[in-house]
Structure 1
Amino acid sequence: MKRTLKVFGLMLLAACLSFPAFAGGGGDSSGSGKVVLTMGSWRTDDVAQVNRLLAEYKKVAPNVEIQFRPTNPPDYNATLRLQLDSGTGPDLMYARSYAPGQELFNAGYFADCTNIPGLMQNFTPSNLAPWQMPDGKMFAVPFAAVSHAVYYNKDIFRKENLSIPQSWEDFLALCQTLTSKGYTPLANGVADEWDILECFFLGMLPNFVGGASERVKYETGEKKLNDANFVAAFKGMADVAKYLPRGFQSVTYNDSQVLFNSQQAVMFMDGSWTAGVYEGAPFEWGVFAMPAPRGRNTIICFHPDMAITMNTKTKYPEECKAFLAWLCTREGATTASQNLPLGYFPMINFPIQLTDAHANEFLALNNGKETDARFVWPKLLDLYAPMNQEVIKVLKGEATPKQAADAIEAAR
């Protein structure tokens, strides 16, 4: 096994070394002063939008061309690390929040962005924190956040005289009512694994265990990951299993989108980033916050998703800094928000009006509610994989909620 992994790693490194040498972009030998920068990202779906954004920036900096070169999302972290290790990394790149980004800063690849003009002044401390080191240094400029909610078919809700649930108990009752009327309540499946954790479980978890102040207690060990609240969250997953599509074990993330878009499922617990998938849907749809159990406050998982940073090895640091500084201005942030994919929200501390009705519907869910990042991201990312597997086991009936919670605490 070790030999196989070693050979696989060498193959990946060889593939990486065959890529064009990104770091430093390129200069124009004609003497025009034109600089070409490359930008890495995991957002392969956003080529058109980002290219529009970069075209707008070219009006600000005519001699700078930024080429957007995204990587397949599941491969981004490993591919970027191999590129950076081999000196072929992009000049600018999307930065993951919390530990994955901190690791690349500590390795000397992500630049110190602390002194980028406007960064520390135009973002709130909570929006800076995901890309901030313990000593306060910033390793990226916040770019966009995503939200989690329940997509629902408004036409079916009207036809069946159904209301948006106000508590977790109401939500389960709603699912039962839909089942009794012959509908599949939820489109979610587990074949791709990541989505049932990130979109569903981590989207609803704060409603059971509390927001940021309580999350910190789990991170420090003051609270145990198998306490009554955590067991209740896993029980919540067990309770929804019967409302998932028949054969949910084989339903992929794309399948779930198709089930909702084709009205074969009435609801879909998902992230705001897929809102654009349903722009041409033949029915009216909306979103509501996954409600908390009675007696608890509903908390929205509003996750800091994307930031942009620069390569410490770029040959054009001033041009990279100028672009990042532009993103920290009202003009740059407004232009970015106009070219962000539907379902991605600006994080800068300026009032920016979004034009899409569904985007504003998502944002409105935050009004009057506490928000927090996905539970494991800030300090417990090592628990991502075991938590993912325990959620799936509970849904499949292979583990009880108590057994799942005990396994997570044991994996700490």
Structure 2
Amino acid sequence: MRKSLLVMLTCISTFSLVISGCGSSSKDAASSVKPAESTAATQAPTAKPDAAKKDVTITVGASQNWIKDIDRKLANQFTQKTGIKIDFQVNPDDQYINILKTKIATKEAPDILYMASGIGIDSFQPEKNFMDLSNEPWAANYTDWAKAGASIGGKIYGFNTWSVDGWGLLYNTDIFAKYNLQPPKTYAEFTQICDTLLKNGITPIFENAKDEWHLPIWLQELAGAAIKEDPGFIDKLNNNTGKFADSKVLATALGQYNEMNKKGYFGKDALSNEWTKGYEAMGSGKYAMDLVYTTYQQEVLAKFPNSGADKWKMFPVPMGDNTTFGHSAGGIIRVVNKETKNIESIRQYFAFLSSQDNLKAYYMERKDLGPISFKGIEVAPATQALQSVQSIASSQLIDLNDSVKFYGDSGAIIAKAMQDMLFGKLTPLDVLKKLDDNREKSFKATAK
């Protein structure tokens, strides 16, 4: 996924929150965007706007990498049209979530708050703290996934112009073709692929195990395998009647991840590798695969134009014989602080942003995004990698990060436990038990 999802996942693992999908995008290109009127289908409700007041300013809180050039352009156009100012209050990536929680608790939060979509919304007590946006005109034009990812308890709390995506193993199609390799359907087939690559001097997988935010993604992508083993698995976890340690397939999968490292599938530097080294690792052809989001190859192509990255494809994480593509709940959404005094101005702002012309302008600049959250907006097709993983997958589900309560809150715990497993200090079952222990603390804390 995009840099935005990468940042989102970093925040999740460090300060307890869940991108394409997480989440890495290329910088927004500068281009002129013609101001556009809201269409009739997305006009704000008839009400006396607070814009009639003098010097109305809508405050917007976000992590610094979640605000793009196009967001500022459209905000400026909205100000020119209405006189309502938009004040983006960006925060350091590694501090935003804590700042957000503190400001919500002290009732000092901005009018609009950026946050991850999915089950993580629930930990912010949305019914108490956020406006119900279910009846806003633009909500009727949501795609099903955008509506689901922005909703809790049947109510829509989020305004989403982001994108659904997910994580899978991106592979260099030229390398695979050279050695007559096909995407695997089982873990055994996957090991055969990796063994073939090793014999030919190619490191099978670039793994940045030093980055704690990245390790939980291997596990979160296995929702399909866990549900195949136990159809009620997710519900049990969210009702706190089941445990991750109950899943034999997840323990098996973690054992396979450990085995992959021991066999050299990650090379010699997995525990010292950082995310940014992946571009050269893949772009140079030294590595054949990388666990990334569905638009990552575009970034490799920008850095390595001769890599052939535009042809690369993707398949689901095969550990535990998983064949399901785990996708995000829809990236980053904007919720409205229930304490705001500017609700009518915010309605105008969201109506402006959700007009057909402005949505098209937004998505034309957000080349890092895939499927569009609103119906009827046709800009660029989904990436080759996303199309391939969807066609290869036996099914698609929201991943564990976005569907299981407190998974995101446990990111750092999962990562440290997986690192300890690689060092031989913990077993796969120990990793799952540490995840369960941390989730239990969260359940008790929210029950107070």
Q: What is aligned with 2:65?
A: 44
Q: Report the counterpart of residue 390 of structure 1 in structure 2.
A: 417
Q: Offset of 1:363 from its aligned partner? A: 4.3
Q: Does 2:191 correspond to 1:172? A: yes
Q: Is the 8 A contact 1:309 1:324 kept in 2?
A: no
Which residue number in structure 2 is paired with residue 247 of structure 1? Answer: 269
**1:114 matched residue in structure 2:** 134
| TM-score w.r.t. length of structure 1 | 0.77
Shift of 1:283: 0.5
- The letter of the residue matching 2:427 is T
1:334-363 Cα distance to aligned partner (Å, 9 max, x none): 343323351454223x14434266x25414
Please identify, of 227-236 and 48-57, the stretch whose mean Cα deviation from structure 2 is larger: 48-57
The equivalent of 2:225 in structure 1 is 208
The residue matched to 1:266 in structure 2 has which SS?
A: strand
Give the SS at the match of 2:415: helix
Given the two structures, how large is their TM-score scaled by the length of structure 2?
A: 0.72
| Residue from 256, 265, 288 that aligns with 1:266 | 288
Cα RMSD of the aligned pairs, angstroms, is: 3.5
Residue 123 (structure 1) aligns with: 142
Taking structure 1 as reference, are residues 191 and 318 closer, same or farther at Cα in structure 2, changes over 3 Å only? same
- Map of 2:158 onto structure 1: 140
Structure 1 residues 79 and 405, CA, compared in 2 at 3 Å: closer, same or farther?
Answer: closer
Indicate the larger mover: 67-76 or 102-111.
102-111
Q: What is the aligned partner in structure 2 of residue 404 from structure 1?
A: 431
Query: Which region of structure 1 is more displaced relative to structure 2, 330-339 or 110-119?
Result: 330-339
CA–CA distance in 2 between the matches of 1:133 and 1:225?
23
Deviation at 1:99, TM superposition (A): 5.2
1:289 paired with 2:289, answer: no
Q: Which runs of 5+ in 2 are unaligned?
A: 1-49, 441-448
Return the alpha-carbon distance in structure 2 between the equivalents of residues 174 and 128 of structure 1. 39
CA gap 1:168/1:347 in 2 versus in 1, 3 angstroms: farther
Structure 1 alignment gaps of length 5 or more: 1-26
- 1:253-288, CA deviations, whole angstroms, 9 ceiling, x for partnerless residues? 223344223433221101236444223223112231
Percentage of pairs with the same residue: 17
2:130 aligned partner, one-letter code: F
CA distance 1:122–1:313, change in 2 (3 Å): same
Cα–Cα, structure 1 residues 167 and 330, in superposed 2: closer, same or farther, change >3 Å? farther
In the alignment, the residues of structure 2 paired with residue 52 and residue 163 of structure 1 have an alpha-carbon distance, to the nearest angstrom, of 44
**For 1:9-408, what aligned pairs fall within 5 Å after superposition?**
35-42=56-63, 44=65, 47-54=68-75, 61-84=81-104, 89-98=109-118, 100-106=120-126, 108-119=128-139, 121-124=140-143, 126-134=145-153, 136-144=154-162, 145-198=164-217, 200-203=218-221, 205-210=222-227, 214-220=233-239, 224-226=243-245, 227-241=247-261, 242-272=264-294, 274-280=296-302, 281=304, 282-285=306-309, 286-290=312-316, 292=318, 297-328=323-354, 330-348=356-374, 350-355=375-380, 359-363=383-387, 365-367=389-391, 369-381=394-406, 382-408=409-435
Q: Which deviations, in whole Å up to 9, do the C-alpha atoms of 1:206-252 show, x marking residues without a partner?
A: 24213786422443466542232121221231232131131211212
For each residue in 1:182-215, what CA deviation from the matched residue of structure 2 results, as whole angstroms up to 9, or x when unmatched? Answer: 11211112212111212x3312x12421378642
Q: More deviation in 327-336 or 164-173?
A: 327-336
- Tell which has more relative contact order, 1 or 2 (C-alpha 8 A, sep 6+): 2
Aligned residues: 377
SS class of match (1:232)? helix
